[in-house]
Amino acid sequence: MSRANAFAAVFLSLTLTTPACAQRESTADQLRESREQLVAEVARDGIRDSATLAAIRTVPRHEFVPEDQRVYAYVNTPLPIGYQQTISQPSVVGMMTELIEPRTGKRVLEVGTGSGYQAAILAETGCRVWTIEIFEALASQARDRLARLGYSDVKVRHGDGYAGWPEAAPFEGILVTAAADSVPPALLEQLAPGGRLVMPVGDPDSHQDLVLIQKDARGRLASRQLIPVRFVPLLRGVR
């Protein structure tokens, strides 16, 4: 954790534990300020897309993490969300969002809903979002949370993302937020011509690279390895 991050966490923990009712308004201001600092860090990590940065500025990440992790919500780090799963690091969320070139009305499939944060970021950029989660409890928590926060257009399914979401295909963007040694064939099939798929590919227990796959107008695939990353594994069989 950088010094700035450590400061942000301590600052936030002080403000969130201040009991006085009078603090409530300034807490909202401080949450906004914490988000602003997070946007600055994500931008320092090379994320440039304005819609992506605006989404990180807007989406309340503290609502997507368990109570005991809230003080770290605006630190640029992954955090545990239960079931041995994590909410991704904001810079990685930013990079994956930017890579699919979000725009209003774009049809995007996410595999690995987790907390729902990445789905909310995509929705905030104007994308139409379908998201699949293999743990029933996480899927239903994310569905409720997204609806409560005003992202009720996001469609959440409990199921195995290896199969994609054939009824809603094709998708102009596909984001997979868990790692496997290859891209599930169903996802490549469900990618529209001109579409972009982003996924961590490699050994789920060690080295993975973030990979961008583009399908051209004639359906040909081209793949590029971007940066080394570390994600939880893409699992098989619904839970």
End-to-end CA gap in the chain: 33
Question: Measured from the CB of residue 88, what is the shortest distance to ligand SAH in angstroms?
Answer: 5
* Catalytic residue status for 115: no
Q: Which of 138, 146, 174, 183 binds ligand SAH (CB under 6 A)?
A: 138
Q: Which is nearer to ligand SAH, 23 or 49 (CB)?
A: 49
Q: Which is nearer to ligand SAH, 179 or 213 (CB)?
A: 179
Count of residues that interact with ligand SAH, criterion CB under 6 A: 23
Cα distance between residue 109 and residue 189, in whole Å: 13
Q: Which is nearer to ligand SAH, 30 or 142 (CB)?
A: 142
Q: How many CB atoms lie within 10 A of CB 127?
A: 29
DSSP line for 137-165: HHHHHHHHHHHHTT-TTSEEEES-GGG--
Question: Interface with ligand SAH includes 160 (CB under 6 A)?
Answer: yes
Question: Measured from the CB of residue 123, what is the shortest distance to ligand SAH in angstroms?
Answer: 12
Residues 93-132: x where in contact with ligand SAH by CB under 6 A, - otherwise, as a string? ------------------xx-xx-xx-------------x
Query: Active site residue: 2, 26, 50, 88, which one?
Result: 88
Cα distance between residue 230 and residue 44, in whole Å: 20
Q: Which of 30, 37, 52, 85 binds ligand SAH (CB under 6 A)?
A: 85
Residues linked to residue 213 through DSSP beta bridges, in sequence order: 197, 223
Question: Interface with ligand SAH includes 191 (CB under 6 A)?
Answer: no
Confirm if 154 and 148 have CB atoms less than 8 A apart. Answer: no
161 burial (CB, 10 Å; 0-12 / 13-18 / 19+) is: buried
Residues linked to residue 152 through DSSP beta bridges, in sequence order: none
- The set of catalytic residues is 88
Q: Which residues bind ligand SAH (CB under 6 A)?
A: 85-88, 111-112, 114-115, 117-118, 132-135, 138, 160-162, 177-178, 232, 234-235
